[in-house]
Amino acid sequence: MIFWVLISLLTALSLLVLLKPLLNTPKSAPANTAESDLAVYKDQLSEIERDLNEGNLGESQAETARIEIQRRILNTSQEQSSSTKGMPLSSAGIKAVVGLLTLAFPLGGLVLYLELGQPGMPSMPLAARDIAAERSALAEQQNTSRNEEMMGLAQKLEARLHNDPTNLEGWMLLGSTYAEIGAYSKAENSFRQAMENTPPSAIVYGAVAEMMVARADGQVAPEARALFQKTLDLNPEDPRGLFYSGLALSQVGENDGALKLWLKLRQLTFANDPWLQVLDTQISDLASRVNKSPSEIIASNPAKAPPIVPTQEQSNQEIQPQPGPTAEEMASAAELSAEDRNEMINGMVNRLADKLNKNPDDFNGWLQLIRSYHTLGRVQEIAPAFANAENAALQQPDVQQAQEQIIALKQELGF
């Protein structure tokens, strides 16, 4: 009942807005537009005479103006018509229109609602709704829309790159874009273009091989393993090469060799790198398989403490490195699929990036973010992060030392 009362009120308000102009009686209107025009022309003739008397117009100019206005007066007189009256409808006609709209508007709305709506459907209480499912559906819709937009941009970039095949940065950006939206085959093809048209690069070899692993649902095929080995030949400390080479060994039962590579990677990883907890999960699982204590083997191969360059406010304070993952976090990560783990890592990296955007002078944070981007293959984001790190370096107490750290990191990553 309340529903129909609300509908009636809204309909009445809508009618009031629509019908009010029709109900207003015009205060005044010229009987004929031609008469209004004639009055204007007569005023213009009088104005010409005044200007002539005051010396503002010459006789010849005044005569020309008079002739033009007289011509307009003649035309207006010939075109006079009763069709230009100010009130086209009589009072009775307006009342008829108002009555017709008053009936047609609500009846038309009711017919449409009965045809298209569902008046018998009961309301759904909030408690009965699956809010989580609704949010998930909305997020999926937004993600699909974003992916379609990114796909369109990627296709335009790919068309340009075929005319510029040696553009390493372009191919890497294209591959990273395809990888982000899950188009792993297209991403692999883009990275292969970079590999075939540019000098050997550990980053490029690793990117191609990683897309092969993604397409194979986490299995490291011999060709991918060979590319990861090329990555390590160029950079023995490449995180991606070490991780996937260890994964390849674990998949064929060479657990000791895999554990050796992963422990080496752990020693090269900073304690606050966001992927450390995922690596520790893999190490713990593998250690259990070879009858070794996960906690002891992790403790005996500590991650690197992040380098600390204090800011002006922190120069007189003791700075503690961020703690590593807790046992609960490691257990939680172990239960995730490979895709969920990757999403979790990217989420942590994105949160770090958000913090740095709010605190751009955090020099160590930018170095950590650059390493994270490199390990995750988000190559297109490394250059902007380096630029921010260089700006942050200028705010450090020892600017030269900070700049040397940036140079060393570029050399380490082959950037």
Domain of 252, CATH number, reads: 1.25.40.10
Q: Are residues 290 and 241 in the same domain?
A: yes
Burial of 125 (0-12, 13-18, 19+ CB in 10 A): exposed
DSSP state of 269: S
What is the pLDDT at residue 231? 93
pTM given for the model: 0.49
d(CA 222, CA 70): 98
Q: Are residues 240 and 296 in the same domain?
A: yes
Q: Is residue 115 part of a domain?
A: no
Helical pair 255-268 and 239-251, crossing angle rounded to 10 deg: 160
Last residue of a domain, one of 167, 199, 231: 199
What is the pLDDT at residue 333? 47
User: Residues 6 or more apart from 191 whose CB is under 8 A from it?
Assistant: 171, 172, 175, 204, 207, 208, 211
Q: Are residues 228 and 194 in the same domain?
A: no
What is the pLDDT at residue 148? 82
Q: Is residue 316 part of a domain?
A: no
Which pair of tokens denotes residue 335?
Answer: 């239960």
List the chain residues with pLDDT less than 50: 28-31, 81-85, 309-335
d(CA 332, CA 63): 98
Q: Is residue 322 part of a domain?
A: no
Of the candidates 355, 347, 353, 295, the one whose C-alpha atom is nearest the C-alpha of residue 324 is 295
Q: Are residues 238 and 179 in the same domain?
A: no
Helix (H, G, I), strand (E, B) or coil at 270: strand
d(CA 239, CA 257): 16
Q: How many folded domains does the chain comprise?
A: 3
d(CA 177, CA 147): 10
What is the pLDDT at residue 401? 84
Q: Is residue 92 part of a domain?
A: no
Place of tokens 């040696």: 166
Nearest 5°: phi and psi at 304? Answer: -75, 140
CA distances from 198 to 176, 179, 195 (A): 17, 20, 6
Q: Is residue 383 part of a domain?
A: yes
What is the pLDDT at residue 125? 57
Q: Is residue 258 part of a domain?
A: yes
What is the pLDDT at residue 312? 45
Nearest 5°: phi and psi at 397? Answer: -60, -40
Q: Is residue 277 part of a domain?
A: yes
Q: Are residues 353 and 276 in the same domain?
A: no
For residue 397, what are the domain limits? 348-415
d(CA 244, CA 208): 12
d(CA 97, CA 342): 67
Of the candidates 366, 200, 349, the one whose C-alpha atom is nearest the C-alpha of residue 275 is 349
CB 242 within 8 A of CB 264: yes
Q: Is residue 132 part of a domain?
A: no
